Amino acid sequence: MGRDLFAIALFGVALAAVASLTQSGVTLTFVMMSLYAALLSQAWNILGGYGGQLSFGHALFFGVGAYAQALGQLNLGLNPWLVLPLGIALGALAGLAVGGLTFRYGLKGSYFALVTLAFAEVFRILALSASFTGGGVGLMVPLQEGAANMQFGSRRGYIYLLLAFVLLALAVTAWLRHSRFGAYLQAVRDNEDAARAIGVNPLRVKLGGIALSAAFMSAAGAFYVQVFQYIDPGIAFGPAVSVEALVGAIVGGLGTLWGPVLGAVALHALSDVTRNLFGELPGISMVIYGTILIVIVMFLPRGITGCGQSLGRLVGVKERARA
């Protein structure tokens, strides 16, 4: 685990240096949005990659964190820094509630995926109907620029905040790779009946996994509100967030430490390139983006990280053969 933590620390120092030294607003925005996508993917990877529970409705936890962040400031008058941990805790509780209702009755695979999608849709409809959420109009957080209000004057401040979340998510993922709980989680993923036979409690393990995953997803929702100062039911609980989270993890490599980060950066870069090159032709950038994404999923079933590992093994075999 020591090497993983060293690599995570090095990654953090490098990105902090890039954010401090660059003066390009385009570069800073790219770094910020790539980190945001990486946080979404890493949150999904904890449950989907290490726990093997594929969720189509992770937007539920994102929306809980986002609305908690907005309502805590608007209705309760709390400082954003104080609301942030409360929103994350509410997201984790939402994860436990969903897990308790699904895992207890043995839902997994496509059934679990569809149920999580249904939960997110139910919350979207409830948020559209409720008055305290602003209904379809949504909520707008007032501009109160200053670090004390978690509203920074430049992208750098948001990058540092988001980088802290991503580093924490990476550290938790590294812990999952080496800890007893992580071993239990992966054992349940590989064969739940065999894990139960050796004394593992699958329900308890899966509840822990979904709570961790939901907590980081809620943190991403809270961050979104602070950056864009607006949230509505379609953004908070819509399918776009869930898709972005799971696609980044799948493309980068499920159940890996760096896969979701690599997948998120690669997809964000691909999206920017196609949009800039073909922005004058309506819809063509999305067609090219989708086509490339399909090709990646078809020919790199283990993701970018799995491809790198396969190449490394191939090079090692060739070197041994020459020796």
Q: What is the mean pLDDT of the chain?
A: 89
Please give the angle made by the CA atoms of 100, 125 and 72, to the nearest 5 degrees.
75
Whether residue 139 has pLDDT greater than 70:
yes
Whether residue 290 has pLDDT greater than 90:
no
Task: Check residue 7 and give its pLDDT.
Answer: 94
Task: Check residue 315 and give its pLDDT.
Answer: 44
Whether residue 314 has pLDDT greater than 70:
no
Residue 71 tokens, joined? 């309502």
Quick: pLDDT tens for 186-237.
999 999 999 999 999 999 999 999 999 999 999 999 999 999 999 999 999 9
Residue range 163-191: mean pLDDT, rounded: 95
Nearest CA among 126, 141, 134, 310 for reference residue 229:
141
The proportion of the chain whose per-residue pLDDT surpasses 90, expressed as a percent, equals 72
**Poorest-pLDDT segment among 7-11, 129-133, 315-319:** 315-319
Task: Check residue 8 and give its pLDDT.
Answer: 95
Quick: pLDDT tens for 81-114.
999 999 999 999 999 999 999 999 888 888 999 9
Task: Check residue 320 and give its pLDDT.
Answer: 52
Paired strand residues for 230: 140
HSE-CB for 77 with a 13 A CA cutoff: 0
Quick: pLDDT tens for 244-256.
999 999 889 999 9
The proportion of the chain whose per-residue pLDDT surpasses 70, expressed as a percent, equals 93
Whether residue 312 has pLDDT greater than 60:
no
**Poorest-pLDDT segment among 166-180, 270-284, 306-320:** 306-320
Q: Is 1 or 151 the better-scoring residue by pLDDT?
A: 151
Q: Is 316 or 107 the better-scoring residue by pLDDT?
A: 107
Task: Check residue 322 and give its pLDDT.
Answer: 57
Quick: pLDDT tens for 36-55.
999 999 999 999 999 999 99
- Assigned CATH class of 2-322: mainly alpha
Exposed/middle/buried for residue 321 (C-beta within 10 Å: 0-12, 13-18, 19+): exposed
